[in-house]
A and B are shown apart, each in its own frame.
Chain A
C-alpha cells in the first residue's frame, strides 16, 4: 500500500474540493448572517466586525422557543409510538409468523416507494373530516402511518436475524408471546431500535409537505415550515434571513455532530443487513 506523496496529491485535492462543495452553502450563509443588519451582503466576505447579535434578533423573529417546543411535540408524538408498534409488527411477522404475515409485509413494501405527494390530498380531506386539521394530531397520526413501511421493514429485518429457538425456549418455560417480547426480544433489539429512532426523528423534524398542508397554525409549525414563512416575511432582509435559517438548522446539526457515529452506523446497518 505504498503510494508516493506526489501520486496522492490530486486525490486529496479532489476530496478537499468535495468537502468545500458541501460546506460552501453553510459558510456563505454564515458570512451573510454576520453582516451589519440593514446592509445588503455581497457574496462571501468575512466582516471585520462580525455581528453575532444578529442571531439574537433572529431568535425573536422566528419565535425560536415556540418552534423548538412544537417540533419537540411532533417528535415525541411520532417516534415512540411508531417505534413501538413497528417493533411489535416486525416481531409478529418474523418471529410469531402470523398467518397472512407475508401478504401484510408485501403490502407494506409497496408503501416503501410511495411518494407522500400521492396521498397528501386525500389525507387533507380525511383529517378535515375527522376534525383534526390544525391540531398536533393532524401531523402526528399520518406520520406514524407513513413511517410504518420503513419502520416495520427495518425491525422485521432485525427480528429475522434472531434465531427462532430463542422464542421457542421462552415458550417452553411458560412465557407468553408478550413476556417473551418484553423480556427477551426487546432488550436484544436496542441497537436496531436506537438507529430507527434516529432516522424517524430526522424525518419528523424536517417534515415539510405534510406540515404545510395539514397544519396552518403558525404556533404548531415544524422547523421547515417555520423557515418557509420566515422567507416569506423577511425574504428581502438577507442578513436576518440567513441568521434565522442557520438558527433553525442548528438543533439537528448539533444532534448530528454529537451522534454522528450513530447516524452513519444507522445507515450502514441498513445496507449491511442485506
Chain B
C-alpha cells in the first residue's frame, strides 16, 4: 500500500469513470457478418480473460471453498460449515483487527482528504509557480516510495532516539517521550499517522486537478459577494469537487481496510495485537500458523467489508443532484 500504494491509486479512477458509461449511447444493430466479427473479437479479450480467470477468479473461488474447511495446508481437510466465520466474529484478536482497520479509515482517509482539500486550495492560491510545483512534488513523494521504505523511515522517527522524541525533548516535553511503536496505547495512532503521510499527497494532487476544472467565474462571483476563505470553500470548492472527493475517499478507505505492507513492516501487528489488521492476521494465520480455513474466512469477511463500506460511498458521491 505504498500506496496507498500503486494499487490503490489505480482504483482511483474507477469511481469517476463509471459515471460516463451510463451516458454513452447504444449504436444500432449491425448485420450478420458484423455479428460474426463481434464473436471473433473475443480473440482480443481472451488473453486478459484467461489471466484474470486463472489468477484472480479461480483463487477467489478457492478462498471461498477453504473458508468452510478446517485445513492446515498439508494434511486432510474437514468440512466444518460456518465454524470459521463464527470464529472470526468471536475471536477477540480477529475482531480487534477489524476494529483497527476501521480506526485506520480516520487516519488513511478522513484526515488526508480534509488535509488534502485545504492543501489543494492553498496551492491553487499560490502565485509562485516554483513553489506550487515543489509543493506538488514533495507531497506526492510518499506515494512513490515502497512501503518498506516508509516503514523504515517512520520506525526510526518513532524510536527512542528518533526525531519525534528529539523534538519533544527540545520543547520541554521530554516526559512524554517514549518508543512510540512499542507503546500499547500509542502504537495504533503512530501507525495511523504513517497512513496519513502516505495518503495526503495523493488526495492533494487529485483534488487539485478537480479544483482546476471549477469555473473561475464562480470564485469571482463569490468574491464580489464578499465571501471569505471558508465561505468560498463550502459554497464553491466543496460542491465542485464532489466527484473527486468521492474518488479520494474510495481509494483511501480501501487502503485502510486492506492495509498490510506498512503495518506488517512497522509493527507486525504488535505490540501484542494492538496494531494488527485483517491483512496481517490473514498472512500470519495462513502462512505461519497453518490455519488456512480460518485465514480464508477472515479474507472473505475482509472482502465483504470493503464492498459494504465502498458501496454506500460510491452512491453518496455519485451524482450531483
Contact = CB atoms under 8 A, between A and B. Distances in A.
Interface of A: 1, 3, 8, 11-12, 14-15, 18-19, 21-26, 28-29, 32, 40-44, 85-86, 88-89, 91-93, 96-99, 101, 104, 107-109, 111-126, 141-142, 144-154, 157, 160, 164, 171, 177, 181, 199-200, 202-206, 208-209, 213, 223-225, 227-228, 231, 238, 241-242, 245-246, 248-249, 252-253, 256-257, 260, 263-264, 267-268, 270-274
28 contacts: A22-B142, A85-B51, A89-B49, A92-B44, A92-B45, A98-B38, A104-B45, A104-B49, A109-B18, A115-B279, A120-B286, A122-B296, A145-B51, A145-B53, A150-B7, A153-B13, A153-B14, A177-B37, A204-B6, A206-B6, A231-B148, A241-B152, A256-B141, A263-B140, A268-B205, A270-B17, A271-B206, A274-B17
Given A25-B154, A99-B39, A231 B5 contact: no
Contacts of B142: 22
Contacts of A200: 6
Contacts of A41: 161
B56 A115 contact: no
Nearest to B54: A145
Given A115-B306, A150-B10, A157-B17, A205 B161 contact: no
Contact of B59 (A91, A122, A150, A199): A122
Contacts of A272: 209, 213
A228 B48 contact: no
Contacts of A19: 134-135, 138-139
A112 B11 contact: yes
Given A89-B44, A117-B283, A22 B152 contact: no
Interface in B63-84: 63, 66, 73
B245 to A, nearest CB: 11
Contact of B261 (A40, A148, A208, A242): A208
Nearest to A273: B17
A274 B163 CA distance: 43
B190 interface: no
A35 to B, nearest CB: 11
Nearest to A21: B197
A125 B49 CA distance: 21
A271 B210 contact: yes
Nearest to B304: A118
B66 A96 contact: no
Contacts of B6: 199-200, 202-204, 206
A24 B125 contact: no
Contacts of A104: 45, 49
Contact of A257 (B123, B126, B137, B147): B137
A137 to B, nearest CB: 11
A14 B122 contact: yes
In the complex, which range does the number of interface residues on chain B fall in? 35 or more
Contacts of A260: 136-137, 140
Given A118-B303, A203-B7, A252-B146, A25 B139 contact: no
Contacts of B204: 18
A26 to B, nearest CB: 7
Contacts of A245: 148-149, 152-153
B126 A22 contact: no
A23 B138 contact: yes
B306 A125 contact: no
B38 A97 contact: yes
B95 interface: no
Contacts of B258: 115-117
A274 B149 contact: no
Contacts of A157: 13, 17, 20
A14 B229 CA distance: 14
Contacts of A96: 37-38, 41, 44
Q: Taking each of B54, B202, B210, which has the highest tally of chain A beta carbons within 10 Å of its own beta carbon?
A: B54
Contact of A117 (B24, B141, B299): B299
B32 interface: no
Contact of B48 (A89, A164, A274): A89
A209 B261 contact: yes
Given A113-B307, A152-B48, A92 B149 contact: no
A111 B52 contact: yes
Contacts of B206: 267-268, 271
A228 B135 contact: no
Contacts of A209: 260-261, 264, 279, 283
B44 A115 contact: no
Contacts of A44: 163, 166
B60 A114 contact: yes
A160 B7 contact: no
B57 interface: yes
